[in-house]
Amino acid sequence: MAISMNWVKEYVNLDDVDLKDLAKKITDSGVNVEHVTSNELNNLVVGEVLECEDIPDTHLHKCVVDTGLDKRQIVCGANNCRKGIKVIVSLPGAILPGGFEIKPSVIRGIESNGMLCALSELGLEEDTPENHAKGIFELPLDAPVGEDVVKYMALDDTIYELDLNPNRNIDCTNHIGFAYEVASVLGRKVTLPDLSTSPIKDSVTKHFSLEIDTPNCMMYNAKMVTGVKIKESPDFIKHRLIAAGMRPINNVVDISNYVMLEFGQPLHFFDKDKLGNKIKVRMATDKETIVTLDKKERELTNEDIVITDGKKPVCIAGVMGGENTEVDENTKDILIESAIFNSYNVRYTSLRLDLRSEASLRYERGLNYEYCNMAIERACHLLEKYADGKVLSDTITHDKIDKKVKVADVTLDDVNKTLGLSMTDEDVRRSLNNLGFEYKENKGTYTVTIPNRRLDVEPHRQDLIEEIGRLYGYDKIESKLPVVETKEGNYIGSVKIRKQITKRLRALGLNECRTYTLISDEENELFKYNRQEPIELLRPMSNDKKVIRQSLVSSLLKTYEYNKSRNVKDVMIYEIANTYYNKTEEDTKIAILMKGNYINSSWNPNGIKVDFYLLKGILENLLDYLGLKNRYQLTAKEIDGIHPGISAEITLDREPIGYMGRIHPNIAKDEIYVLEISMTKLVDKKIKPIKYKEISKYPSIMKDLAFIIKKDVTSGELEDTIKRSGGKLLTNIDVFDVYTGENVKDDEKSIAYSLTFSDPTKTLSDEEVMQVFNKIIEDVSKKHNAVLRDK
């Protein structure tokens, strides 16, 4: 929001105030003045064109201009440049908006010592093709030659660009509201503008009837002004509109905008002749249509409020007027509407039709009924003064506003306890007085009445404390730690196990990633283990962020590709993040991706390359660390997106928790291994406390053996049998060789095991071990059709 301080000066005295200091004070008390810009135009003087001749074969003119100081030659390209007019001359040394510096120059061989300016070139008008076509700006013929243009046109304004918080978006988006804020900070009073008119005898009530057929129109005021003359607005209105970021159009439209920027109350002007003699406000019916001012046909719903002439819609309330009743250059009589509508409906309608405007935003945020009443008087005053209008007496009014006065109590103790300050009653009174909040004091309690212009302040002590405090200054608060119970802070719920897992994975050489939750449909389709119904956004911003992911693997694969293309060859990464499915269900997942050398040297061949078994080792290390040793299992299983031969499902306590394997070559040619398990399923696993287990004092005996088996028999199956047959004495099994090739048939393989036997209570005898050892050989041979391989 841009505020013209020249405008604000109309309502509050700022004669002795430095506007830069003021901006800082206002910011410190809670209304952010983001930029202060002063019109820094210089070296602009009023000039008179003494001579103007065309330069052959160009659109240019060679002029001699009287600047008061001298008569100088200036080349000008504007088609309205002619002898006798008064113009704005920027002299060499002038710097125009955009940093364009005026210098003496030679154009087409002709000397030019300055420039004749258009308003758009001075930043006083928008740079549009229409404005451009107007050419240079023509000053009134009585403008004194040689006068400083900034002074003459009263351009020396200071603009505050406000960055408003949503609460102050209501009262500080108009100049009177902001003037109250300025007055609060300075402790001054606000003078409201002139609302007076000289109404003619004729009453608006004879010309119009009003019917309100919806509770969503809380207030409707209508006044009539006749005989208006459409012309340009006076300079001060134009300048102020430009300063506040609006384009001047003609006096009538400008007055409507001027009053909106003054009081914050949007007005609507109807052409009375086009409208007829009735106004009816009602909800639109479904499929009803209206052509709006922008010449587009709009289809309405029964959520939209419309102003009608009794039959057809003539305006979408709070959003945009209808073309059928538009004020144009031939308009004579105007009906002015100043109304308050249900902000929810206006918001709904403007969003649906994509028609959010300065006006609709104000309706949405809420309006002060006092200003609604004043604004219509003010508009009449200005139309009378600057559009030669005649104001009809009386106002047609519908008023169902809840006028309950907002009153709340607050004590000095409340203020100091909440802010942690030591304010005095005097300080509280000063703040309330400056805010312009009326109050009664009774035994230390302030009963405060909140003015209607502060729609954002609720009748509650906390609201008053904030208002009192922000004016007093938060810089006076001194730090003091809260006096609270001493207690231990903890990771709560699943956060704890996530931290444990994350630390373990980092220690295992994996790098933590953070990727986006929202992915594309295609990415979500890549890895579909245990797929459930995905959650799609209702209104995605783009196709690549359309669904809430159910697997982290595709994101890790993307991360891998990002790093690969930057020549990072060894990628060991993981992510722990939430996934969602079936509308609201949450599953926190742990995903790992590994590719390249786990341990690596750039010149030495002794690296360790990542393969299935390395990733399996990482998984076992993690699950064992979590106290889940011997409770999990891998089962070969084909899984979408994973190499069918290098793929396993992971179960824990017989429940599937995820999968691991090599990414299917159809998805990625590189040898990439991934794992994804549910962390949610690990959270509440009960485990035993750590207890010391004595290491056996007696020597252990090691025995090696190798079996030849069919290729499709897994080592896991053999190990299960060995364990069962080995009983208590068998304390460890290791695979030390897996062999295919010579001496082994094509459909067979040989696996060699190293078995460790021990007894914690005694030294084992050879016979005892051999008895178990032979049983193992016998059982394995029988069960798996295995042949003991000779040494």
Per CB under 8 A, contacts with other proteins among 587-606 are 598-604, 606
Q: How far is the CB of 185 from other proteins (least distance, A)?
A: 12
Q: Cβ neighbours of residue 259 under 8 Å, at least 6 residues apart? A: 265, 267, 375, 378, 379, 382
**Residue 478 C-beta: closest distance to other proteins, Å:** 6
> Minimum distance from CB of 302 to other proteins (Å)?
18
Taking the complex as a whole, how short is the minimal distance between the CB of residue 216 and other proteins, in angstroms?
Answer: 13
Cβ pair 231, 422 in contact under 8 A: no
- What x-and-dash track marks residues 143-182 binding other proteins by CB under 8 A? ----------------------xxxxx-------------
**Single residue of 93, 144, 493, 727 touching other proteins by CB under 8 A:** 493
Q: Outline where 715-765 has alpha helix (H).
A: 715-726
Q: How far is the CB of 491 from other proteins (least distance, A)?
A: 5
> Is residue 586 within 8 Å of residue 578, measured between CB atoms?
yes
Residue selected from 515, 621, 754, 781 as contacting other proteins according to rule CB under 8 A: 515
- Residue of 108, 229, 440, 506 interacting with other proteins (CB under 8 A): 506
Decide: 611 and 673 in contact? Cβ < 8 Å.
yes
Cβ-contact 450, 437 below 8 angstroms: yes
Residue 650 to residue 713: CA distance in whole angstroms: 19
Residues, the chain: 791
Nearest approach, Cβ of residue 308 and other proteins (Å) = 25
| The pairing of beta strand 217-226 with beta strand 267-271 | unpaired
Nearer to other proteins (CB atom), residue 330 or residue 606: 606
Residue among 433 and 494 whose Cβ is closer to other proteins: 494
What is the rounded distance in angstroms from the CA atom of residue 179 to the CA atom of residue 76? 42
Residue number with CB closer to other proteins (90 or 588): 588
Please report, as residue ranges, which positions from 297 to 326 form the binding site for other proteins (by CB under 8 A): none
- Rounded distance between C-alpha atoms, residue 353 and residue 360, angstroms: 12
Does 347 interact with other proteins (rule: CB under 8 A)? yes
Residue choice 287, 480, 654, 691 for contact with other proteins (CB under 8 A): 480
Please tell me whether residue 2 adopts helix, strand or coil conformation.
strand
Residue 490 as a binder of other proteins (CB under 8 A): the answer is yes
Give the 3-state secondary structure of residue 144: coil
Q: Which of 160/574 has CB closer to other proteins?
A: 574
Question: Quick one: which of 489, 605, 689, 699 contacts other proteins (CB under 8 A)?
Answer: 489
Give the CA diameter of the chain: 129
For other proteins, the closer of residues 582 and 771 by Cβ is 582
Nearest-angstrom CA–CA distance, 166 and 639? 51
Closest distance of CB 181 from other proteins, Å: 12
Q: Which of 104, 509, 665, 760 binds other proteins (CB under 8 A)?
A: 509
End-to-end Cα distance, the chain: 91
Strand partners, 65: 49, 72
Residue bearing tokens 């709006």: 292
Which residue, 28 or 399, is less far from other proteins as judged by CB? 28
- In sequence order, the 6+-apart residues with CB closer than 8 A to the CB of 60 are 54, 75, 76, 77, 107, 108
Least Cβ distance, residue 436 to other proteins (angstroms): 18
Which of these ranges, 311-319, 515-523, 692-700, 711-719, lies near other proteins under the rule CB under 8 A? Answer: 515-523
Question: Out of 475, 694, 766, 790, which residue is the one contacting other proteins (CB under 8 A)?
Answer: 475
Q: How far is the CB of 580 from other proteins (least distance, A)?
A: 5
Stretch near other proteins under the rule CB under 8 A, chosen from 247-255, 436-444, 490-498, 673-681: 490-498
**How far apart are CB 306 and other proteins at their closest, in Å?**
20
Q: How far apart are alpha carbons 412 and 465 in whole angstroms?
A: 9
Q: Which stretch binds other proteins (CB under 8 A): 109-117, 217-225, 487-495, 525-533?
A: 487-495
Give the span between the Cα atoms of 587 and 580, in whole angstroms: 6
Q: Is residue 548 a contact residue for other proteins (CB under 8 A)? A: yes
Q: Where in 27-46 is the site for other proteins (CB under 8 A)? A: 27-30
Q: Are 160 and 2 in contact (CB under 8 A)?
A: yes
**Touching other proteins, residues 634-663 (CB under 8 A):** none
Spatial contact of 581 and 587, defined as CB atoms under 8 Å apart: yes
- Contacting other proteins (CB under 8 A), which of 1, 12, 307, 510? 510
Strands 200-203 and 390-393: parallel
d(CA 497, CA 628): 13
DSSP code, position 205: G
Q: What are phi and psi of 610, to 5 degrees?
A: -70, 130
Which one, 471 or 729, has the nearer CB to other proteins?
A: 471
Minimum distance from residue 418 beta carbon to other proteins (Å): 6
Scan residues 605-624 and list those touching other proteins (CB under 8 A). Answer: 606
Q: Which is nearer to other proteins, 469 or 726 (CB)?
A: 469
Local structure of 4: helix, strand or coil: strand
Per-residue mark of binding to other proteins, 554-593 (x: CB under 8 A): -----x--xx--x-x-xxxxx--xx-x--xx-x-------
Count, residues near other proteins per rule CB under 8 A: 94
Q: Is 343 in the site for other proteins (CB under 8 A)?
A: yes
Residue 545 binds other proteins (CB under 8 A): yes
The tokens 């283990």 sit on which residue?
A: 529
C-beta of 269 vs 574, nearer to other proteins: 574
Residue of 108, 106, 132, 118 whose CA lies nearest to 55: 108
Q: 121 or 364, CB closer to other proteins?
A: 364
Q: Which residues of 311-342 are buried (b: 16+ CB within 10 A; e: fewer)?
A: eebbbbbbbbbbbbbbbeeebebbbbbbbbbb
CB of 480 to other proteins, least distance (A): 4
Q: 303 by DSSP, 3-state: which? A: coil
| Closer Cβ to other proteins, 392 or 618, answer by number | 618
**214 vs 651 by CB, closer to other proteins:** 214
Residue 648: beta bridge partners?
A: 636, 660
**Out of 141, 481, 690, 695, which residue is the one contacting other proteins (CB under 8 A)?**
481
CA dist., res. 526 & res. 730, Å (int):
44
Minimum distance, C-beta of residue 401 to other proteins, in the bound complex (Å): 19
Least Å distance, CB 375 to other proteins, is 21
Rule CB under 8 A: which of 440-469 touch other proteins?
460, 462-463, 465-466, 469
User: What 3-state class would DSSP assign to 104?
Assistant: coil
**Residues 6 or more apart from 177 whose CB is under 8 A from it?**
170, 171, 264, 453
Question: Of residues 415-434, which lie at the interface with other proteins (CB under 8 A)?
Answer: 417-421
| Closest approach of other proteins to the CB of residue 20, in Å | 13
Least Å distance, CB 180 to other proteins, is 16
Question: How far is 5 from 614, CA to CA, in rounded Å?
Answer: 71
Between residue 362 and residue 391, which ones bind other proteins under the rule CB under 8 A? 364-365
Provide the minimum distance between the beta carbon of 694 and other proteins in the complex, in angstroms, as a whole number. Answer: 33
Query: What secondary structure does DSSP assign to 609-620, as a single string?
Result: E--HHHHHHHHH
